[in-house]
Structure 1
Amino acid sequence: MAFHPHMQIKIQGLEVVENLRLKVFDGAIADLWDVKCEPYAHGEYVSHAPRLVVVMGQTGDGQMEIVADPGTRARADDRGNRLAFIPAGYKVWSRIDNLQNLSHLDVHFDTRSISKKLGDDFEPSAVDVPKLSFNDERIMALSRLVADECDAGTALHDLYGDSLICALFIALAGIKPKKIRHKGQLSAHHLRKAIEFLEDNFDAPVSLAELSSLTGLSPAYFCHSFKLTTGMPPHRWRMRVQVNRAKQQLEDPNLSLSSIAAATGFSDQAHFTRVFRKFTGTTPGAWRMNRDK
């Protein structure tokens, strides 16, 4: 299902003076607006997705304020700040004083897509806290690059824009890796994807190229990293999965050793016996007999 932010908006005193420039990324939708502001322009907004609002430029000596209560004003030390982060479902009001024109970028984040990329490092609570007025040079720099992509007649490769969105979200939410891993090891996210694939495909041949493609690493580097992380190469991990599945089936006395060998992906019963002995120290038949005692 395609991501859509589903904004609810009520505005007064604002007129779009240039066509909206919109860009769809993997992880966000960004739109760049240029508006003419009448005196006392204001608006009311709520979005079903978390979003970042960035003032890119303005004409006039005033400012745009974003507040959580229409009856309040921004604090004096917050006025002039150019960034606001608004969580999903959080209603805010804007007030624009003494501005003739305003250019702003809205970035609506698809947290479902981003969480898949960040894996265990993503914490949903990181996007639950509003920051309605702040400055951050790194976030501003990334926002300018995102705005350039919205404005560009011919955009660069999709990976460029998608990486910008991921970097922007990480900087905005202050996401850090939960576990420091040794150089060369697989991330928890990539390791989980590889192991799940081996578990799901234990009964069929799995190539190193298939596994490495899940992580974006080269086959050689993936193999090295997998062994460094787990203590065994991928093919041995797969054999261990096969042996564990075979043990489950050996508990059924009605299943023959040859049928178990075929069902768990071994080439024949002899191959099954060799691998099983390597991992357990005994043959499948002896293991079954000992289980029955």
Structure 2
Amino acid sequence: MTVLLSGIRPAAPLVFRAWNGVLADLWQAEIAPGGHGRYRSEAPRIVAVLGEPPSPMHLSWDGAEATEPVRVFYVPAGADVSTRFTGPTALRHLDLHFDPGALGARLAAAGREGAMDRPVCLSDCPVALSIAELLADEIRNGTGDPLTLDSLAYALVGKVFGRAEPISLSARGGLPEWQLAALDRFLRSELHRRVAVAEMAAVVGLSESWFAHAYRQSRGETPHRALQRMRVEAAMTHLSRAEPTLAEVSTMVGFADQAHFTRAFRTITGRTPGAWRKSALQQDCAKADCFSQDIHG
């Protein structure tokens, strides 16, 4: 998680607990006049401002600001969020960081597919705050077993997302850019092996069927086709050199065998890997000859 703070300092040691794809942080801080912060995490999270109202926290993201001070809010993975505070104050808050795949599966099972992709801000949420206080007590006292902690954490999830309207695919317009970027990074790091669509969906916390539709709406091709294109692009880098062999390149970029590699390469580029390599090496030789003539001419 990336955090930039100004006028905010810890007032007590951090208390944390991890279980079943959830990491809980319990913070106490002192806020100076004009205190503010910026935050970005690759894990989706819920933050609850504890204690008596009113909340001193104002929240903004992507250039938009919540109209009222927030008590409980959900932040999607990869989203940039800023906070500012009214006056000097003390602050207690509970942060729950979720494994994207686990949270996405729970929301999908509850008919909330796609709900992970947008922030939720609540200013009036007494039941959610009561659950957050109970969970904070269990974490602070170290008494909660994983079943109790999990039950309270997902009870809080239910109250937070219960206040958010489900997002239809047509309204969402596919996957947001941060999800596409996260997926691209994952796929490029895993080109050496087979990657199932279910794995891709888990990276962005969606069900397999929802992910496949949303991806196609965003990129105009299936996830499988996009992965093949990445494999072929990676293969081109290797083929631009005389070594390794075609069979070795096929294995390096994750194709089942050389025949599969050749079919996919020809489908995307219109040429076989061997023909593409020959052309690329000839062009390199021609460039080298031109360079030599320029030097000695």
Q: TM-score with structure 2 length normalisation?
A: 0.53
Match for residue 119 of structure 1? Answer: 78
Evaluate the alpha carbon distance shift between residue 189 and residue 143 of structure 1 in structure 2; reply closer, same or farther with a 3 A threshold: farther
Evaluate the alpha carbon distance shift between residue 140 and residue 261 of structure 1 in structure 2; reply closer, same or farther with a 3 A threshold: closer
Assess if the C-alpha contact under 8 Å between 1:186 and 1:229 holds in 2: yes
276-285 or 194-203, which moves further after superposition?
Answer: 194-203
Deviations 1:185-241 (A, max 9, x none): 123233223222211111201112211222332212211111111111111111101
Query: How do 1:13-92 residues align onto structure 2 when only pairs under 5 Å count?
Result: 26=23, 29=26, 45-46=30-31, 52=49, 55-56=52-53, 82-85=54-57
Say which of 4, 7, 24 aligns to 2:10.
7
Write the distance in 2 (CA, Å) between the matches of 1:225 and 1:163. 24
Match for residue 249 of structure 1? Answer: 238
Greater radius of gyration (CA): 1
Q: What amino acid is the match of 2:87?
A: L
Assess if the C-alpha contact under 8 Å between 2:132 and 2:156 holds in 1: yes
Write the distance in 2 (CA, Å) between the matches of 1:228 and 1:86. 34
Number of equivalent positions = 201
SS in 2 for 1:29: strand
Write the distance in 1 (CA, Å) between the matches of 2:87 and 2:161. 21
SS in 1 for 2:57: strand
Evaluate the alpha carbon distance shift between residue 149 and residue 23 of structure 1 in structure 2; reply closer, same or farther with a 3 A threshold: farther
Match for residue 145 of structure 1? Answer: 128
Match for residue 282 of structure 1? Answer: 271
Pair 1:205 & 2:205 matched = no
Assess if the C-alpha contact under 8 Å between 1:250 and 1:260 holds in 2: yes
Write the distance in 1 (CA, Å) between the matches of 2:161 and 2:127. 14
Query: How do 1:80-229 residues align onto structure 2 when only pairs under 5 Å count?
Result: 82-85=54-57, 117-120=76-79, 122-123=80-81, 126-127=82-83, 129-132=84-87, 139-142=122-125, 145-151=128-134, 156-161=151-156, 182-183=171-172, 185-229=174-218
SS in 2 for 1:206: coil
- Give the Å deviation of 1:151: 4.1
Evaluate the alpha carbon distance shift between residue 205 and residue 144 of structure 1 in structure 2; reply closer, same or farther with a 3 A threshold: same
Pair 1:268 & 2:257 matched = yes
Assess if the C-alpha contact under 8 Å between 2:72 and 2:123 holds in 1: no
Q: TM-score with structure 1 length normalisation?
A: 0.54
Deviations 1:21-48 (A, max 9, x none): x9978565378xxxxxxxxxxxx94589
227-236 or 182-191, which moves further after superposition?
Answer: 182-191
Evaluate the alpha carbon distance shift between residue 245 and residue 54 of structure 1 in structure 2; reply closer, same or farther with a 3 A threshold: same
Assess if the C-alpha contact under 8 Å between 2:131 and 2:155 holds in 1: no
Assess if the C-alpha contact under 8 Å between 1:273 and 1:283 holds in 2: yes
Evaluate the alpha carbon distance shift between residue 139 and residue 265 of structure 1 in structure 2; reply closer, same or farther with a 3 A threshold: closer
Assess if the C-alpha contact under 8 Å between 1:185 and 1:229 holds in 2: yes
Write the distance in 2 (CA, Å) between the matches of 1:132 and 1:166. 30
Assess if the C-alpha contact under 8 Å between 2:251 and 2:257 holds in 1: yes
Q: What amino acid is the match of 2:274?
A: G
Write the distance in 2 (CA, Å) between the matches of 1:30 and 1:165. 20
Deviations 1:154-188 (A, max 9, x none): 674413325767999x9xxxxxxxxx985451232
- Give the Å deviation of 1:244: 0.6
